[in-house]
Structure 1
Amino acid sequence: MSQVDTVRGPVESADLGVTLMHEHVFVLTADMQANYPDEWGDEDQRVADAVSSLQALYDAGARTIVDPTVVGLGRYIPRIQRVAEQVPLSIVVATGVYTYEDVPAYFHYRGPALNEAVGAELPDPMVDLFVGDIRDGIAGTGVKAGMLKCAIDAPGLTPGVERVMRAIAKAHLETGTPITVHTHPGTQTGLHVKRVMCDEEGVDPRRIVLGHSGDTTDCDHLAALADAGFVIGMDRFGINLDTTFEARADTLVEMVRRGYADRMVLSQDASCYIDWIDPEVMSMLPQWNYTHIFEEVIPYALEHGVTQEQVDTMLVDVPRNFFEGR
């Protein structure tokens, strides 16, 4: 058993309960919100909406969520603290950088970007920032990050993505904090994660969730990643623009049938508010909400041969073991 940092302070891993490993509270474009705040509207109302949504998630059975909202996704911890004070749900927040291509402009002329100019190998300042968020807390709030987060999508292993990935790996090795990686299984970017973070940087794949793995129906590929030691994130239930509910659910059922319930976690990648998507598009995703797993995915899985014990494994045991490093 070990302690896991949450917005309200550390909790024992045994007390995490039913844990959704990839849910956001708010996903925002910080510059747009600062300069064009009309769509955001009233701050108090947004917080109240989030409290209501997360209370519904708690009432559905969840006890903990991991919110991997980092730099690039509009992380603002004081707002999350306001929400967490009003709901019994535990919220684990993250540190890291979210990019598909380049590092944020802030890092363009810092650290390794200056190696050639100075003729020396400079440390990456990202590592110290991430470690500080974990050990000291985020932006003076006292809230400590309990997860590290980076991303690799269809553009692949760009120099910027690789730089962030290696900084995340180094911060993990210094702190022991586990990692979640946004991946693009259609182009098998999990293999890049294996080479860079595990083979070259030395991270144990058992400490990494390969997020969004359920975006593919290629169970052979997912099985290979699970066999390599990774935790497989079946964590976009409800996002059915380029796929279907049945495709996602049937992939889960097949992976369980193959014996991988103890290597998978479940989630929806939902949020209370996301400014990345036109509201009219959001209306086309009626299942993309916090309770979809409990109301539709789990009943479907149980009807198709998955047992309640296997559901509990994915929702309780795997997250607990992941945080404990087992």
Structure 2
Amino acid sequence: MTQVQTVRGPVESSALGVTLMHEHLFVLTSDVQANHPEEWGSEDARVADAVERLRGAHDAGVRTIVDLTVMGLGRYIPRIQTIAEATELNILVATGVYTWDDLPFYFHHRGPALGPEVPDPMVDMFVGDIRDGIAGTGVRAGMLKCAIDEKGLTPGVERVMRAVARAHLETGTPITVHTHPASHTGRDVKRVMCDEEGVDPGRIVLGHSGDTTDCDHLAALADAGFVLGMDRFGLNLDTTFEARAKTLIEMVRRGYGDRMVLSQDASCYLDWIDPAALELLPQWRYTHLFEDVIPYALEQGLTREQFDLMLTEVPRRFFELGRACS
């Protein structure tokens, strides 16, 4: 059996249970929060609210949440530790860098920027987070994360992608990539991470695959070996509830239930959006899958066994594919 790293320490993969593979606890702009703490408000109130939301997820049947908050999204592990101790959920945290275009300035004159033969310090950072723990907390990352969006494979995006791939090859830690399926960025992931860096596509979740209704494109990615992240249920800005649900239903009917994982990409607090605007997204929460999506899909002919596969079995197998981290 494979051990999986969580905030409270390693657990057996068989104990993960129902797993949401792409969520966040908090998505924050670190410089704003550090210099304008009034935006955040009461720490105790924020933590209490998060605990309540996560208990709601647990009551809905969730047993594990993968928090994909990395550098660029305001990761702060001590706060997550406090919350984890107050809930029954397994919480996995990630390492990586989140950018759609340029690198943080810290990396502009380090590593490959000085010459192609110079090792990238990002790789050592990611490996350290996985093997030694994050920022002296002892909490070890259980997932690697990078992103490629509509801007495509910019030099900064490519450098992070390669650093994530190399950290994966050194540690065996699985990968999630934020993608933009309308731009077919999964193909860039395949070329860079798999064809050139040597990562098995079965070790990569292509996040936000459910943002498209192009089932032929999704089927081609699944046939290439990737796991599809149908992970933005409730985030209905450029799409609808029905479009997301029907894409999932069609992919299951085509036989791809064993290549998909489910989530909502929700958070307890996101400072990117005015709280008043979030009221326009009432379904964007940790329990939307269980309260709305699954009942709708069952009415359309899917089965609970198919959801058990996507929510429990596929995540377990995904973590079990890799070798244990040293």
* 1:15 aligned partner: 15
Distance 1:168 1:133 in 2: 12
Number of residue pairs matched by the alignment: 322
* 1:181 aligned partner: 177
Are residue 278 (structure 1) and residue 274 (structure 2) matched?
yes
* 2:227 aligned partner: 231
Q: CA offsets, 1:278-308, max 9 Å, x none?
A: 1122010000001000000111111111111
Distance 1:304 1:205 in 2: 31
Alpha-carbon distance, 1:39 to partner: 2.1
Distance 2:290 2:38 in 1: 34
* 2:113 aligned partner: 113
Q: Which letter maps to 2:199?
A: V
Are residue 75 (structure 1) and residue 75 (structure 2) matched?
yes
Q: Which letter maps to 2:258?
A: D
* 1:49 aligned partner: 49
* 1:218 aligned partner: 214
- Normalising by structure 1, report the TM-score: 0.98
SS of alignment partner, residue 94 of structure 1: strand
* 1:255 aligned partner: 251
SS of alignment partner, residue 45 of structure 2: helix
Distance 2:43 2:106 in 1: 28
Q: CA offsets, 1:45-80, max 9 Å, x none?
A: 100000000000000000001001000000000000
Runs of 4+ in 1 over 2 A off after TM superposition: none
Are residue 190 (structure 1) and residue 186 (structure 2) matched?
yes
Are residue 123 (structure 1) and residue 119 (structure 2) matched?
yes
Gaps of 5+ in 2: none
RMSD over aligned Cα atoms: 0.7
Gaps of 5+ in 1: none
SS of alignment partner, residue 37 of structure 2: coil
Q: CA offsets, 1:30-51, max 9 Å, x none?
A: 0000111212100011000000
Distance 1:203 1:13 in 2: 21
- Mapping for residues 31-50 of structure 1, pairs under 5 Å: 31-50=31-50
* 2:2 aligned partner: 2
* 1:162 aligned partner: 158
Instruction: Determine what percentage of the aligned residue pairs are the same residue.
Output: 78
Q: CA offsets, 1:128-161, max 9 Å, x none?
A: 0000000000000000000000000000000000
Distance 1:158 1:125 in 2: 19
Q: CA offsets, 1:1-46, max 9 Å, x none?
A: 2000000000000000000000100000000001112121000110
Q: Which letter maps to 1:246?
A: E
* 1:319 aligned partner: 315
